[in-house]
Structure 1
Amino acid sequence: MAHAEDENSQVTAAQARLTFNIPAQSLESALKLFARQSGGQLIYGGLDLSPYQAPTVRGSMTYVEALSRLLSSSRIEFRLRDGNVAVLRERPDPSVQESHTLQQVNVVGTFEEERERVYQTPGSAGVVTREQIDRLPPRNTSDVVENVSGVYTSQSRQNPGVSVNVRGMQDFGRVTVMVDGARQNFQKSGHGSNGLVYVDPELLSGVDVFKGPVSTVGGAGSIAGTVNFKTLDADDLLEEGERAGGRLNLNSGDNGYHFAGSLAAAFRPTDNFDMTAAISRKNLGDYERGARGIPDDSPDYMHGVSQFTGQEQWSGLFKTRWRFAPDQSLEFSYVGMRADYSESYQDTSLQDNQRGDNEARTDTLTAHYHQGGGENLLLNLNASLYYTLTRVNEKRWGSNYYDDFAVEYETNTVGGTLTNRSVFPFKRFDLALDYGTEFYYDWTDPQAQSQSDDSQSSSEWFTGATPEGERWVSSVFTEATFQHDDWLKLIAGLRYDWYQIKGDGRIFNGLIPNPEGVRPPYTRMYTNFDVERHAGAFAPKLTLSLSPYRWLEIYASYGEGLRPPAITESLLSGAHVGNMFFYYPNPGLEEERSRNWEIGTNLKWDGLLARGDTLRTKIAWFDSTVENYMVQGAIMTPVDEKQPNGFSGFAFVNLDDDVRFRGLELETDYDAGWVFGGVSYTRMLIDMGKGGYDPFPLGSIYGYPDTVFGDPNGYNGGYVWYVLPPRHRVLANLGVRLFNRKLTLGTQFRYERPTDAQSDAGWVSDSAIDSWRTWDLWARYDLTDNATLRLSVNNLRDTYYTEMNGGSYQVGTGRTVIGGISIRF
């Protein structure tokens, strides 16, 4: 009886109606799309598919109907096995009497399939795969996305958090950074980046990137793009038909790379239910900086060991998925990380001056519901809810400026999405509508407590710069995709974003002398303030794509975006440590508005240089202009009678001039089986304009006295800017597969040339920002089908180089040798 039920389920899987959208292309590429969209498995080995082309397959049909259409123009036939598993073979040529036995090879879920999506998107997309992550084991999360053109990271190696920069923009939500679709909105002010994300590379299955304004999920409140870190699930650990399995990953090396490893397992008792769990451990020590090519004028503290770059962390995840109906499923997941590290607060980039021991903790809970994929082309529904808590506890040791403090920064985010896709197939064209809504709500809760009973230090030095407050952002959107045959695609999107910010605090107004002999000698005067601001705006997007030839796609797009002020930007208060100067809120901050133009092309060649090889290339030119760009500027306080000697205070302000980000991006991948390689190149041009801003955001009781603040011609250092991304960046890799692909050898080359316009932070020396080149080597050997040995050498020539770090630079790691093993069970 059980056997009969099994057969019935297999027949049902093959006869269920599914929705397909496969454009005309090479048969091999089409079959990969078919496997992904159907959820089935194809088995073929030495078949030469390069001579064949596949027709368009679009609409609702069964697994068998769709596969038959794909193969209709070829001499390939198939035999169905186990429901939705198809064995492909070539029909015998009547003129040839020989018979051939074909080796069976699974082709679902390969590296090439994931990368293929980049070159099928009429826009600037990027993908990082698990295989790419494993080649050169990352020391920090920032190493994971460095091979995506136009994407940078700004991170202190002392801190396990990472700030993602896309096309020159970062921090305060300009880039939407997510873990499994859940936003990571943690913010902490300091000398480095403001927005940090804590995620362990050991738990990742890959990373999806989209650059520029997004008119669907993820685009609310951001202007630069989206980055989604995807974590492991059962499909990453189990092959088709497996009920239980997992992966053990172990790495260790020199130069402070003590240990990084993970254990992940999945259990699938039935086809409709699975569970995944993983745990990861990392232990890093202080690393040696590169010693080759040290500039003659660099200070001694930039040589040798980079102190306080050690980290210890634990991470884990748990996921479960239940398909409780043929076209419905529920998923629940938890991802968490704990990290202990030390950090220098005076300057996290160059100086070895310890100021505190920290603990970072992040927890993300996500629930996702899906309905669709059956005969109903009007229903493909996805709904999600998530909660993210990120908390950083700091033990800040005292100095000449302040006593010992216990500080806690906390950001909570609750959000959700609801989207649906409706497809309307017509005779000569298809129309697809994606529409829905998303929202998120942030609230912050900073705490600071002096460890001295008689402390004269102020807790507002810490809680004012990263203030308490609330922010709501919500959005409704729709995107229509019109496709005519296989050569014309028009995508039109429109979203409406709305936000509200609330908070209160107090601002410093001045000092009143106390009578002689009274301590302290002055009484500080403060004024309470409240902020409640809301606004909304529409943001359109339009993309036109033409494919005159199968191998060529040309696209052009225009999109707008809106970024509301962050909690910190609107509610900033308190004072710099030691009361060096004071911070002030700006309730009147205008939201940033971006206009983005882009033109690009996707080139896809098969069999170009050798039989069965593939060459994929994406080239894009972008031009983004941001109005009302927000920076931290020196201001006149409401009680300043005249231009102060030095600074009275700082607040976030809108620049008068537009800020412009332009550039060229190129990504290419080549694979001929025994040899493969790729290049990622970015050319950045950033024009900050003349500057200028309103130096009286809070008004003046003295009639707005003359000031050089805010005048681009009178004071050129009036605002704080983070370090700009390099003008040129190249990352190239080349590899060979030997001994029946058991051994893979590869090398990677990196080059950066900095942008001329640098941070006006005084501690950045010219010697820290020279152009640099590094070489890496890696090797992989498959001992068995389930055991893989890895060896890598990062920075082979032990080159001295620097990396972006918020408002400054940090000297990178010297030569590091790492060995590891991956065991699948």
Structure 2
Amino acid sequence: MKDDRFHTSTLLAGTAMALALLATAAPVKAQEPGATLLQQINVEGDGNGDGVVDVPAAVSKADRVKIQEQFSGNATQVLRSMPGTFTREPADQPGIIVNIRGLQGMGRVNSMIDGVPQTFRNLSGHAGTFDNMLYVEQNMLVGVDVSRGAVSGAEGMGTLAGAANFRTLDVDDVLLPGKDVGVMSTVRIGTNGFDYSRLLAGAARTDMGEGEIGVVGAISDTKKSPYENGDGIIYPSAGDEHPKSGLFKVNIEPDSDRKLSLGGIWYGSEFLPGSSGYNWVVENQTYTAKYTYKPGNDLIDLSANAYLNITDLEFDGSSIDGAAFDGRKGTNTTTGFDITNRMHFDLGSATELKLSYGVAYSHDEYEGNAKRGANADGTLQKAGAFSEATLTRGIFDLTGGLRYDYWKVDGISGYDAPGSNGCDPDGDPCPGDAISRHGGDLNPKITLSARPFDWLQPYVTYAHTSRPPTAAEMFYPGGHSFDGSSDPVNNNPNLVPEQSRGWELGVNLKGDDLLAAGDTAWLKVGYFHNRISDYITYRTDATGTLCPNWEPGDGSVACWVNLDGTTVMKGLEIEGGYDAGRYYAGFSLTLADTDQPQGSSSGTTSDTGQLPDDFATVDVGMRFLEEALTVGGRMRYVGESKQAFLGKPDAYKVDAYTLFDVHASWQINENAKVFFNVENVFDKAYMKANSGLSDNLAGINNGRGRTFIFGATARF
């Protein structure tokens, strides 16, 4: 790796610190004499909906069993198995790009690791995209929570379509029940380009006064090689990938009222996107500090969070003669905090009030070197205050929320190349005029739900959301700009936030003892209808009617603009499950119309992510050996979609496809579990939906062919 700042010592730091604390953590809480530890069995399936069926909103979640054992750690497949949730998934890019209800990129979806927004992007050609990319090593994931539509609290600040939070390992994920010191190791091997994947984690906890302190450390890596598609052809644009990651967390609980959690997770990888010509060297660091105070009264339930995320990108073009972008560097730094308090009031006569309120702030800054190309330097600050109150009386819940989101964008009009306009010919490009824009939006939300029966909960929601323009859009310099210089004619400091006004109608259903004694079933059905104004996209201007800096003689230029009119996105989302112990089933279905306006260079500069109108996942399985052995099968259906090219929305037709997978796991005892996956059992050849232009231009199906993956987890 060129300039490998992500040394193995950094990866080992988390576990080394954990092991040191393990050795010194005394006295460790002892098991009581004569106590018997019961074997832990992780019951798989979708019988209870993990609590989402009790939430009058469009939410979904996946736990560790689903991610690591049923989907072999493939987070993009997990997201696509949720209704209304998709990904942009180029075969040559490991960054996770979340799409909710047809919207992605530039903060339209708040993608987070442990609650920390991931805002990195590289938009200047060579596999660049305006989408935010999230980098996390698959072994570290223990959960994914998705909220679609208007999101309450800090996670919804400045976000248009929803939020997705990727949760990573913590102490309880490593320790066996009743144990206070433990080690966990997971190893996978596979075929068809899945070389291996491995995780080593250690954890401990010990008494601290009235409370306890817990620590966990982990290291992991995954090695993948080029794979064959269903036609038996090695896909040429999916190169080698070997991400490495380290994690360290400390949980301090002085007593039952207070808890402080400190954490850090590090990621490093080098890969060659097929459409780039340059190796990407990516390093991601995410740090968290979380504090909760719950003294047990109805007036104080306080949480405060602070975070830092740093993502570095460097181009390594050592294999290219005269590589103009060799050595390109860019750093995206995000800092922020949020504070929330929750209160509860018993008003008598079967009436109660729940109130939450808080503030949040984030600062996102991109800084590139002289070879930054069209990656605009600049900052986006977001700040807000939010409140939400739920009044419950009898069978009805009325929830009203109000948030004020403030934003400020700072940047420069452009750069002068060395030797021009007084800029030192032997120096770096010189920055132009500083520009600053700011504004604020008041976004209300109201939900009415009812519980006429224990098994039935209908609800209706009306909400406003908004998404401010980013520095990348407002100060986009255009072109490749080899020397980092730019022309302010491509800037558009007049951009205003995108605004969404939306309705959601939904119903939650659940029941027990329906087909057999002890069985459970649940179902969530929701319809959304959103009207988006001032949608931001990329347009060419030859007359000065769009780009505000255009002057006669400039010819045809391009910039980011707010579109006139309204963009309508609507659809039906269904998710449910059934669990009878011996057998289970789960499914999700999306029927939607989420076509977006096409920019002048859609598919290249501004790939907007054209989703299929319909997609579905069905998973069924059975359990044996007193439910220690689970065997399941999955169907993944993705409907017909399109890939734009140079503004033509139907440039490429992506055919519908149906895939079948098999998964199995066996909890041998409390210490050992083995699992097995077969992806694309029938070795079908297909082109993945929303995989990007370069994959379609290659003319070779990019879907992975039949792949076997074997794995085992040991915990002691």
Of residues 168, 177, 188, the one that matches 2:111 is 177
Measured after TM superposition, the shift of residue 627 of structure 1 is 0.8
Distance 2:385 2:92 in 1: 40
CA RMSD of aligned residues (A): 3.2
Q: Deviation per CA, 1:144-198: give whole Å up to 9, x if none.
A: 3221111111132322211110000010001111111111111210454521011
Alignment pair present for 1:732 and 2:618: yes
Alignment-derived partner of residue 179 in structure 2: 242
Of residues 136, 139, 161, the one that matches 2:95 is 161
Alignment-derived partner of residue 8 in structure 2: none
Alignment pair present for 1:277 and 2:217: yes
- Letter of the structure 2 residue corresponding to residue 334 of structure 1: G
Q: Deviation per CA, 1:350-377: give whole Å up to 9, x if none.
A: xxxxx01121110011111110151x11
Alignment pair present for 1:624 and 2:530: yes
Q: Which runs of 5 or more structure 1 residues have no equivalent in the other structure?
A: 1-80, 88-102, 293-302, 347-354, 449-458, 513-524, 693-708, 710-714
Residue 398 to residue 265, structure 1, CA distance change in 2 (3 Å): closer
Alignment pair present for 1:267 and 2:267: no
Measured after TM superposition, the shift of residue 780 of structure 1 is 1.2
Alignment-derived partner of residue 815 in structure 1: 706
Alignment-derived partner of residue 63 in structure 2: 129
Of residues 643, 650, 664, the one that matches 1:779 is 664
Of residues 159, 163, 166, the one that matches 1:229 is 166
Distance 1:221 1:168 in 2: 17
Distance 2:193 2:586 in 1: 30
Alignment-derived partner of residue 351 in structure 1: none
- Letter of the structure 2 residue corresponding to residue 288 of structure 1: E
Alignment pair present for 1:598 and 2:504: yes
Secondary structure of 1:132's aligned partner:
helix
- 8 Å CA contact 1:174–1:222 kept in 2: the answer is yes
- 8 Å CA contact 1:155–1:193 kept in 2: the answer is no
Distance 1:137 1:671 in 2: 19
Residue 473 to residue 381, structure 1, CA distance change in 2 (3 Å): same
Q: How does 1:247-396 map to 2 (within 5 A)?
A: 247-270=184-207, 271-291=211-231, 303-345=233-275, 355-374=277-296, 376-396=297-317
Residue 577 to residue 547, structure 1, CA distance change in 2 (3 Å): same
Of residues 343, 350, 358, the one that matches 1:436 is 358
Measured after TM superposition, the shift of residue 661 of structure 1 is 1.2
Deviates more, 1:396-405 or 1:383-392: 396-405
- Letter of the structure 2 residue corresponding to residue 163 of structure 1: I
Residue 401 to residue 560, structure 1, CA distance change in 2 (3 Å): farther
Q: Which has the higher contact order (CA 8 A, sep 6+)?
A: 2
Measured after TM superposition, the shift of residue 267 of structure 1 is 0.1
Q: TM-score, normalised on structure 2? A: 0.85
- 8 Å CA contact 1:633–1:718 kept in 2: the answer is no
- 8 Å CA contact 2:645–2:651 kept in 1: the answer is no
Distance 2:79 2:630 in 1: 22
Distance 1:200 1:172 in 2: 23
Alignment-derived partner of residue 552 in structure 2: 641
- 8 Å CA contact 1:398–1:404 kept in 2: the answer is no
Secondary structure of 1:325's aligned partner:
coil
- Letter of the structure 2 residue corresponding to residue 673 of structure 1: G
Alignment-derived partner of residue 536 in structure 1: 440
Measured after TM superposition, the shift of residue 139 of structure 1 is 6.6
Residue 503 to residue 627, structure 1, CA distance change in 2 (3 Å): same
Q: Deviation per CA, 1:46-97: give whole Å up to 9, x if none.
A: xxxxxxxxxxxxxxxxxxxxxxxxxxxxxxxxxxx99xx9x9xxxxxxxxxx
- 8 Å CA contact 1:248–1:823 kept in 2: the answer is yes
Measured after TM superposition, the shift of residue 759 of structure 1 is 1.6
Secondary structure of 1:123's aligned partner:
coil
Distance 2:358 2:431 in 1: 43
Alignment-derived partner of residue 516 in structure 1: none
Q: Deviation per CA, 1:263-306: give whole Å up to 9, x if none.
A: 122101225111011111111111112218xxxxxxxxxx5333
Secondary structure of 2:474's aligned partner:
helix
Alignment-derived partner of residue 131 in structure 2: 194
Measured after TM superposition, the shift of residue 547 of structure 1 is 1.4
Residue 114 to residue 439, structure 1, CA distance change in 2 (3 Å): farther
- 8 Å CA contact 1:678–1:733 kept in 2: the answer is yes
- 8 Å CA contact 1:114–1:127 kept in 2: the answer is no
- 8 Å CA contact 2:278–2:326 kept in 1: the answer is no
Residue 115 to residue 265, structure 1, CA distance change in 2 (3 Å): farther
Secondary structure of 1:722's aligned partner:
coil
Alignment-derived partner of residue 706 in structure 1: none
Measured after TM superposition, the shift of residue 809 of structure 1 is 4.6
Measured after TM superposition, the shift of residue 426 of structure 1 is 2.6
Measured after TM superposition, the shift of residue 135 of structure 1 is 2.7
Residue 534 to residue 398, structure 1, CA distance change in 2 (3 Å): farther
- 8 Å CA contact 1:313–1:337 kept in 2: the answer is yes
- Letter of the structure 1 residue corresponding to residue 672 of structure 2: A
Alignment pair present for 1:770 and 2:661: no
Measured after TM superposition, the shift of residue 649 of structure 1 is 2.1
Of residues 644, 663, 666, the one that matches 1:759 is 644
Alignment-derived partner of residue 412 in structure 1: 333
Of residues 556, 569, 572, the one that matches 2:476 is 572
Measured after TM superposition, the shift of residue 550 of structure 1 is 1.0
Q: How does 1:689-708 map to 2 (within 5 A)?
A: none
Measured after TM superposition, the shift of residue 626 of structure 1 is 1.1
Measured after TM superposition, the shift of residue 344 of structure 1 is 2.7
Secondary structure of 2:472's aligned partner:
helix
Distance 2:54 2:133 in 1: 31
Q: Which runs of 5 or more structure 2 residues have no equivalent in the other structure?
A: 1-30, 421-428, 697-701
Q: Deviation per CA, 1:10-40: give whole Å up to 9, x if none.
A: xxxxxxxxxxxxxxxxxxxxxxxxxxxxxxx
Measured after TM superposition, the shift of residue 607 of structure 1 is 0.7
Secondary structure of 1:796's aligned partner:
coil
Secondary structure of 1:414's aligned partner:
strand
- 8 Å CA contact 1:127–1:206 kept in 2: the answer is yes
Alignment pair present for 1:467 and 2:352: no
Measured after TM superposition, the shift of residue 464 of structure 1 is 4.5
Distance 2:256 2:550 in 1: 68
Distance 1:162 1:434 in 2: 32
Measured after TM superposition, the shift of residue 247 of structure 1 is 1.9
Alignment-derived partner of residue 589 in structure 2: 681
Residue 686 to residue 802, structure 1, CA distance change in 2 (3 Å): same
Secondary structure of 1:426's aligned partner:
strand
Distance 1:416 1:109 in 2: 36
Higher Cα Rg, which structure: 1
- Letter of the structure 1 residue corresponding to residue 460 of structure 2: A
- 8 Å CA contact 2:48–2:577 kept in 1: the answer is no
Deviates more, 1:651-660 or 1:151-160: 151-160
Alignment-derived partner of residue 558 in structure 1: 462
Measured after TM superposition, the shift of residue 116 of structure 1 is 2.8
Distance 1:591 1:345 in 2: 32
Task: Report percent identity of matched pairs.
Answer: 30
Q: Deviation per CA, 1:663-709: give whole Å up to 9, x if none.
A: 110101111001011111111202546x89xxxxxxxxxxxxxxxx9
Residue 321 to residue 671, structure 1, CA distance change in 2 (3 Å): same
- 8 Å CA contact 1:386–1:415 kept in 2: the answer is yes
Distance 1:725 1:546 in 2: 33
Q: How does 1:662-677 map to 2 (within 5 A)?
A: 662-677=570-585
